[in-house]
Structure formats: C-alpha cells, structure tokens
Amino acid sequence: MAHEQQFLSTVYARLEELRGEAEDTVRASLAQLGTGRQARVERDVRTFERSAHLAALNAVESGLCFGRLDFQDGTVRHIGRIGIRAADAELTPLLVDWRAPVARPFYLATGYEPMGLRRRRHISSHERTVTALHDEVLDLRDTGRTGYEDHDADSVLLAAVSAARTGRMADIVQTIQAEQDRIIRAPRQGVLVVEGGPGTGKTAVALHRAAYLLYAEREQLARRAVLIVGPNPAFLGYIGEVLPSLGETGVLLSTLGELFPGVHATGVEPPAVAEVKGRAAMAAVLEQVVRDRQLLPETIPDAPGADHEAQGTLPEPALLVDHEQYGTLRLHREMAYEARDRARATGLPHNLARPHFAFRIIDALTAELVDRLGADPYGGPNLLGPDDAAQIGKEIATSADVHAAIDELWPQLTPEQVVADFLADPEGYLTEDDALLLRREGGPWTPADVPLLDETAELLGVDDSAERAAQEAARQERIAYAQGVLDLSAGSETYEFEDEESEVLAAHDVIDAERMAERQEEADHRSAAERAAADRTWAFGHIIVDEAQELSPMAWRLLMRRCPTRSMTLVGDLAQTAERSGAGSWQQILGPYVGDRWTHARLGVNYRTPAEIMALAAAARRATHPDFEPPRSVRSTGVEPWRERVAADGVAAAVAAAVRRETPDEGRLAVIAPPDLHALLTAADPALAGGAVDLTRRVVLLDPRAAKGLEFDAVVLVEPGRFDDSDLYVAMTRATQRLGLIHTGELPAGLRAERGSE
C-alpha cells in the first residue's frame, strides 16, 4: 500500500502542475484583451472560472487513480479518470485514461482470457489517501502474492452497489462490467438502443458512453457537442456530476421542455392532453394551421355606396387598399390567389416565402395601376413608359398601407403565436373530443407543447434578412473606420532617406482594412454546448436519450431534427412505459427515420435492486403480463419488503412513523405516493415538505413519474393499489436496501402477502 500511496502522491503533484498551467494560460489570454474592454474582460473572467479544462481537472480529483494492470511481460499501467503525462513528456503516461485501448483489460480480462495480464488491482482512496487494495490474480502460474488477494472477484462491485446513496449518481468507472464495456465502446455511427430493466445500469452506461465518445472522437464531438435528454429536472440534477467526474464538461443536459430556446416549459397538464399533443398526426394539423394563415381577400364592395342589388351584380372579392398618392387600390382575389400559389410553389417555410408573396402582390398592384393611369381614352397604347412604371412600382413597394394589406393576407408569424392561437381555438382541426381536451386560454407552456413549437418553427422558418443586413452594415462601418485609421497612419509617415527607398513598413503594408476590422470583432467564447442551447437549429454530433420509451412521436420528430446524422444512443425499458404517447416498440419509434438500420443491446443484470424486492416487483408485474421476465439481481440482503395496512384516516401518521423508522443513518429515503396525497403527507411530517425536488435531502417525497431513473437506500410506497402496473413497477424498483408498502385497501395482485405480514 505504501508504494501505491507514493505513486498517488506523484500523480496529485502532477495534477497541481496541470492546474497551474491551465490557470496561467487563461490569465495570459485575458491579459491580451487589453484594459479598454472592461465588459469583455469581466465576461472572460467568468469563462475562466468555469473553464472546461480547469473544471475537468478539479472534478476528477476524487478517486483519480482507481486501478493498476500488471502485465505478464512486466509492464505496469495505472488506470485513472483522465490520462496524465509526466512533466518531462516521456513516452509512457503517468496515468492511463480509462477510455484508452490499453485500459480495456481492466474491464474485460478474466482467468480464462487474461488478455496478457498477470494481475489486476483495484485501488480505493479517500481524498488523496489510499484506503484499500484488492488484487485479482489472472495468471494462475504466478505464485507471487501481495497479501491483498481476494477470492471474491465481485467484492469491489458489491461494495459499490451496496454503498449509501448521496442523492447524486456516482460513476461506475471502477466497476464497469464486460457487457457494459462493449456497449460503452460501440461505434458512434447509427442508432444504438440499450434496453434493460430497473437497476441494470442503463443510464450509467449511457453517460460513460458519452465520455468515451468524447475521448475517441474529440475533434468532431467537441465542435458539434453531445446532447443528453432526461425525463425531468430532478433526474438531470441526479446525473449532473457523473460526466464532470470523468473529465467531461462540454455536454448539454436538457429535458424535452428545455429544447426550445426562450421557452422553459414548467406547466403541468393531464396525461390525456399530452397524449393528443404527442400524436404524429399533429404535424399535419400544424401544417394546415399555418396554411390557414395564408389568406385571400374576402368579398368587399367595389366602392362605398355601390348598389349591386339594383345592378344585379355580385360584390367583387377584393381588399381595398388606401394609397396616399393614388387613392384606393383594389387587391383582387385573383391577384392574391396567384401570388399565394407562387409563394407556396417555392417550397419555402411560411416566413421565408412571404417576400415572394409580397413581390407578386406589389407587381400585380403596380401593373393594375399602370393600366389605369396610362390608359389611352382613344384605345391607343399605354401612355406610361417603363420609367414611369418603375417609379410607380417603387411608390407601391414603400407604401405602409400596401404592406399592411400584405400583412393581413400573409402575416409574419412566430411559433409561440401560432401554437397559442391554435390551442385557444383548436376546433375544426381535431375531433370534437380532442379539441375540447386541448382548448386552453393562456397559461405556462408544458413539455408537450415544446415539440409543437419546434414543429411550427420548422413550418415558419426565420426570415433573418433584416438582421443579416444590419450585421453587414455594421461590418462595413467597421471596415470604413479601419480604413480611416490606416489612411491617417499613411498620411503621418514623413520618413526621409537619401538615395534609397524606405524599407520601413507602414500599417497599410501588412494589414488591410477588412482584416483590421475583423480583429476588432468580439470572439464568441461560449462552449459548443452553450451555443447549442441557444440555437434551435443546432445539429448535435451525438444524442443520448434516457427513458426513451416515454417520448411521443412529436418529440421524436424534434430530436431527429437535432441529429441529422442519426448518431444516437437510446436507453430505456418498454416494461416501464408510463406515458400514453410512449412507445409500444423500438421499431415503432425508429422505423420512420432509419427503417431497421439500428442496433439493439440488452442489459440483463440488476445491480441496484436486491433479489427480495425484485421478486415482489416481478410478481406484481406478472399479474398483468404473465410472460414478464425481470433482470437478474446480483445480490440478496435477506430483508423482505414489509407491508402495513392502515385505516383511511391513518395514512399520514403511518407514513410519518415509517419515515422516522426507515430513514437510514447514511443514505436517502424516498416516499412515493399519489400526487393528491402529497399535501396531506407534508402537513403531517415536516421532513417531507419542500418545493423543488432536492435529492440531496435525507428524505424526499415523489410520485412514480418523478422517481423514474432515480435510486434510494429505502423506499416507502404509499397506496400502491392506486398506481397503474407500469408506475407500480417503477416505484418498487427504486430501493437498494429496503422497501415498505403502506395501504388502506386491498393490495394489487402479486403484492398480497402469502403469510401474515400485513
């Protein structure tokens, strides 16, 4: 152990050197900014404080070195969270990154296939002190012993899965199993579906896969970024420390409700409403909603006081447009119809097609006005020439009233405006029942609204011509200013030389105005992940989706747009599908986008849930799905789940007593109850009170949907008979040690005790 402690001291000393180098580099770049740009310097100081490199070095400190490989040829390699080279830049690294090919035997070697290893050592440490060593002898011909051998090869794994929970997911970099390693290191191209029951490590594997891909394809993924989509904010908080602990900070973590920049969807709505919004048919509905905003003139009299009844004529469909110079213009229905057809024929989104519509309307009004003003009373050719017609066209094009008429027929729209108007009045687009469900006046956006907003944004497009024109004007202004500086510099040169040409270079000899202006532009110091979060059209290099079975068809349309290369890792469990709009099969999700060109991997070992709890959860699941087969639990605690039946008015007191009894000295307890009971339970027990879910608290109160993907040392399940089979299965499989059930009525089939435990 002394040798490993000495080595660890060397590694941490080098880590401190790297920290100092990172700080010096950023400080030097700040100094180059100069003192005249205080706001920019302050912003870059904040960038320095959250510098990706420095943050990564800080995050990996805990358990920096966790393994050692002794090869049969005498080579020794230490394995760590990141790779570190010695200060003299020698060829052999001081610490090998766990993702490097040479580190694979740490996860895959066995006595049957030692992969060139003599022994494998697991190193446990607290802060910077080695606390335990565990050696596995892989070459049985080696008779040498260190005293740290352990015949139980799974002792390190069992110690990790049995450890008290902290409210934050821990990485599994020290205990990655062979089946997990193969998934983590699978090629990035294409769609990989990772399926497995509760506790099989799907999420941990997906996060380590993100870290591996960022290591293996750093150049591309650092530029395009990786997106990780989680089911709720509490889950993102739970997994938020895993990637930093592996040295990766440039990943965007987001819920579906946060994937439309400028909108933070916090609203809550009934599952039936979310199901309607999530249907694939909503894409066609929204397309029709947008097309219906492309109007034609209604029937309007030709002129005030026209007596069509007396004349036996019908009013002409036209829009009357007042023009300050030419009087009343008639925008005929035929004009608008032809302009609309031409604009639609471009195939451009609504807002981008609008200029085409406007040009056709202006041309049509100009032609009509030229015909009217230049008409020869004697039937001769038009009296106005091309220059006259061009002048009239300019005056029509600059008329505020003409543009107001164009806006009325083909308005500039925003996604928020279109979706809000649709939800306020969905009749005519849906069935009567569905329209009644969706009808909503105002209120906050919900997660199910975000795919609708994104779909609408695709249908509308963004006409950024004005913004681009302004940027170009600003650029030309900077170039003109730079040229003035160069001209001034040239005019001030008064060097005099006799009989030889000057060899002194002036400023205009080494730089032109355009390049000089570019140097004055402010650089974008945001990371790729930060830029991606603000850009709806960003194309990610890879997307990881957790609880993928829960996403609706409309949500998948959004995500597929974010990843045109279809480089994705989807993790989930169809047996845990709870949302009405969730998937019935992976092919149902992926078929419309990649056909059958996707890969499926299954994780079959449960590392979280003890066998006693898993057996009861499987029995409850089999009551409705007789063929269900649960994942195999790797451990047994000998503690059976308990059940307690109470009177209807005794639920709160029973839960409060269970919280006092079951809360572990170390670790976390979750009370999982129907949402309508939360107020009652928090009133009876202040330990359950709180606003947003804080998983670092000793006790938290959740409903089954909010508990997805989380784990706790102990769980108290309240009124399990009120959950559907999927929610019940999720809730029962969150515990790593103990599970209790408190109920007032009969338990669901499969949960009833066979012997007197109620």
**Model pLDDT for residues 302-317, shown as the tens digit of each residue:** 445 555 455 444 456 7
pLDDT computed for residue 675 by the predictor: 92
Q: Taking a C-beta distance cutoff of 8 angstroms, is the pair 319, 273 a contact? A: no
> In angstroms, rounded to a whole number, what is the distance separating the alpha carbons of residues 125 and 60?
13
pLDDT computed for residue 26 by the predictor: 66
Q: Computed from CA positions of residues 409, 410, 412, 417, in that sequence, does the dihedral angle turn out positive or negative?
A: positive
> In angstroms, rounded to a whole number, what is the distance separating the alpha carbons of residues 269 and 438?
10
Q: Which tokens is 132 given?
A: 């335990």
Quick: pLDDT tens for 421-458.
999 999 999 999 999 999 998 889 999 999 999 999 99
Q: Which helix (H) or strand (E) holds 487?
A: helix 465-491
pLDDT computed for residue 470 by the predictor: 65
Distances (CA, A) of 437 to 233, 274, 275, 426, 550: 26, 10, 10, 9, 21
Region of residue 347 (left: phi > 0; alpha: psi -120 to 50; beta: else): left
Question: What is the total residue count of the chain?
Answer: 758
Distances (CA, A) of 54 to 15, 21, 410, 703: 11, 9, 52, 38
Q: Which long-range contacts (CB under 8 A, 24 or more apart) does 147-156 make?
A: 148/1, 148/121, 154/634, 156/122, 156/124
pLDDT computed for residue 385 by the predictor: 79
Q: Taking a C-beta distance cutoff of 8 angstroms, is the pair 559, 575 a contact? A: no
How many CB atoms sit inside 10 A of residue 310's CB? 7
> In angstroms, rounded to a whole number, what is the distance separating the alpha carbons of residues 725 and 618?
11
16 by Cβ neighbours in 10 Å (0-12 / 13-18 / 19+) ranks as: exposed
β pairing state of 117-126 and 129-137: antiparallel
Buried (b) or exposed (e) across 503-529, using 16+ Cβ within 10 A?
A: eeeebbeeeebeebbeeeeeeeeebbb
> In angstroms, rounded to a whole number, what is the distance separating the alpha carbons of residues 732 and 714?
10
Name the 3-class secondary structure at 592.
helix
Q: Which tokens is 733 given?
A: 């499989």
> In angstroms, rounded to a whole number, what is the distance separating the alpha carbons of residues 81 and 59?
10
> In angstroms, rounded to a whole number, what is the distance separating the alpha carbons of residues 121 and 197?
30
Dihedral in degrees, nearest 10, Cα atoms 658, 663, 669, 673? 10
Q: Taking a C-beta distance cutoff of 8 angstroms, is the pair 715, 708 a contact? A: no
Q: Taking a C-beta distance cutoff of 8 angstroms, is the pair 79, 68 a contact? A: yes
> In angstroms, rounded to a whole number, what is the distance separating the alpha carbons of residues 604 and 18?
41
Angle between helices 271-278 and 282-291 (to 10 degrees): 70
Residue 159 C-beta-side C-alpha neighbours within 13 Å: 11
Which amino acid is located at 72 in the chain?
A: Q
> In angstroms, rounded to a whole number, what is the distance separating the alpha carbons of residues 693 and 147?
46
Helix %, strand %, coil % of the chain (to 5) = 45, 15, 40
pTM: 0.85
Nearest to 212 by CA among 243, 240, 234, 235: 243
pLDDT computed for residue 45 by the predictor: 45
Name the 3-class secondary structure at 317.
strand
> In angstroms, rounded to a whole number, what is the distance separating the alpha carbons of residues 542 and 210?
8
Residues of the chain with pLDDT under 50: 35-39, 41-50, 301-303, 308, 311-314, 494-495, 497, 505, 507, 754-758
pLDDT computed for residue 608 by the predictor: 92
Q: Taking a C-beta distance cutoff of 8 angstroms, is the pair 282, 452 a contact? A: yes
How many CB atoms sit inside 10 A of residue 582's CB? 23
Beta bridge partners of residue 598, listed in sequence order: 191
> In angstroms, rounded to a whole number, what is the distance separating the alpha carbons of residues 243 and 228?
11
Distances (CA, A) of 63 to 11, 128, 153, 313: 11, 8, 20, 89
483 by Cβ neighbours in 10 Å (0-12 / 13-18 / 19+) ranks as: middle
CA angle at 195 for the pair 194 and 197, rounded to the nearest 5°: 140
Nearest to 364 by CA among 344, 387, 341, 347: 341
> In angstroms, rounded to a whole number, what is the distance separating the alpha carbons of residues 97 and 116?
19
> In angstroms, rounded to a whole number, what is the distance separating the alpha carbons of residues 92 and 84?
10
Q: Which tokens is 432 given?
A: 């009567």
> In angstroms, rounded to a whole number, what is the distance separating the alpha carbons of residues 399 and 325?
10
Three-class secondary structure assignment of 371-410: HHHCCCCCCCCCCCCHHHHHHHHHHHHCCHHHHHHHHHHC
Region of residue 77 (left: phi > 0; alpha: psi -120 to 50; beta: else): beta
Q: Taking a C-beta distance cutoff of 8 angstroms, is the pair 609, 617 a contact? A: yes
